[in-house]
Amino acid sequence: MKYRIFTKRQLVARILLYLAVLLMLAFTALPLIYVVLTAFKPLDELLRFPPTFFVSRPTMTNFSDLVTTLGSSDVPFLRYIFNSLLTTVITVFLSVIVCCMGAYGMVKHKVPFSNFIFLIIVSALMFSGHVTQISNFMIVNSLGLVDTYWALIIPKIAVAFNFFMVKQFIEQMPDAYLEAARIDGAGETLIFTRLVMPYLRPAVATLTVFSFVNNWNDYFSPLIFITKEQLKTLPLALQSIGESGNIARAGAMAAATFLMTLPTILVFSFMQRQVIQTMAHSGIKA
C-alpha cells in the first residue's frame, strides 16, 4: 500500500473530485435504487401524493400479487420468467461454445481466407442487428420456427461481438502450451476441452455476461417471432402489463420491474473482475 501526502490544495481538489463522481453516480444509480425500493412498497405508498422515494413499511405482497393476480390471461406470470430464463440460458450456452470453437479454429489453426472473414466480422460490429431482422424473419419463417423457442435462440448464437471478444483474448494464449500437449499425443478435442476452454475462462465469463444481458433484455426478437401468449418472454409481458394502465396492478408492475432488472446486475457483479480483464484486449486496430 502506497500512501501519499497531500498538500491542502490537493486535498480540496480531491474532495471536490469525489463529490463530482458521487453526483454522477447518483444520476446513474438512483433510478435503480428506486426500482428496488418500489418493489417492496405496499399499494397505498405506491399511490401516495406527493410521491415518496423511500419505503416506510416494506412488504412482499407485490411479489405474491404478481404470481397470483396476473394469471388472468391464462398464462401465469411464472411462465414468462421460465420462458426468458430457458431461452437466455440456452442461447448463452450455445453462443459461448460456438464462438470459442470458432475463435480457436481461426487463431490457433488455419482457416481459408481468415483475414477477409475477420474483416467482415469486424464490419458486422458496426451495424445494429435490426438491419438483418427482416431477412432473419423470412428465414425463421421458412424453417417453420416462428412461435417456437428456437426462433429466439438460433439467430443469436453467432454474434460478431462475442466472436470478436474471444478472438482477441485467445491471441494472448502461448502456442507452446498447445505444442506440448500435441507432442504428448493429445487429440484436438481433448486440447480444446482441457486446455483451451480453461484458459479462456475470463473471456467465457465476459461472453456469459454480455450474452445474458442482451438476450434477457431483448425486446425486438420476441416481438417479431412470438405471438403465442404462453411463449412470450418477460420484456413483452412487462410491456403489456404497463400498457394496460391498470392502477391495481401498480404493485405487481413494480415487482416485475425488479425481477426483470435484478438478474443482469447480479450476473455482472459476480463476474466483474474477469470482464474487465477481458475487455483490456478488446481494442480494434484499424
| Interface positions, 202-241, toward other proteins (CB under 8 A) | 209, 213, 216-217, 219-220, 223-224, 234-235, 238-239
| Interface positions, 146-205, toward other proteins (CB under 8 A) | 154-158, 160, 163, 188, 192
Least CB distance to other proteins at residue 74 (A): 22
Least CB distance to other proteins at residue 246 (A): 14
| Contact residue for other proteins among 11, 19, 117, 248 (CB under 8 A) | 117
Length of the chain: 286
Question: Is residue 264 near other proteins by the rule CB under 8 A?
Answer: yes
Q: Is the peptide bond before 50 cis (omega within 30 degrees of 0)?
A: yes
Question: Is residue 11 near other proteins by the rule CB under 8 A?
Answer: no
How many residues line the site for other proteins (CB under 8 A)?
96
| Contact residue for other proteins among 75, 101, 181, 195 (CB under 8 A) | 101
Alpha helices in the chain (DSSP H): 8-39, 43-46, 61-69, 77-108, 114-126, 133-142, 150-153, 160-170, 175-183, 188-191, 197-199, 201-217, 220-225, 234-244, 250-279
Measured distance CA(26)–CA(265) in Å, rounded: 17
| Contact residue for other proteins among 9, 49, 175, 183 (CB under 8 A) | 49
Residue 276's Cβ-side half-sphere holds a number of Cα atoms within 13 Å equal to 4
Angle at 158 between CA 125 and CA 162, to 5 degrees: 55
| Cell numbers representing residue 282 in the block | 478488446
Cβ closer to other proteins: 42 or 129?
129
Question: Is residue 104 near other proteins by the rule CB under 8 A?
Answer: yes
For residue 211, how many other CB atoms are within 10 A of its CB?
A: 24
Question: Is residue 248 near other proteins by the rule CB under 8 A?
Answer: no
Question: Is residue 141 near other proteins by the rule CB under 8 A?
Answer: yes
In the chain the first and final C-alpha atoms are separated, in Å, by: 39
Site string for other proteins, 51-90 (x = CB under 8 A): x---------------------------------------
Question: Is residue 28 near other proteins by the rule CB under 8 A?
Answer: yes
Question: Is residue 29 near other proteins by the rule CB under 8 A?
Answer: yes
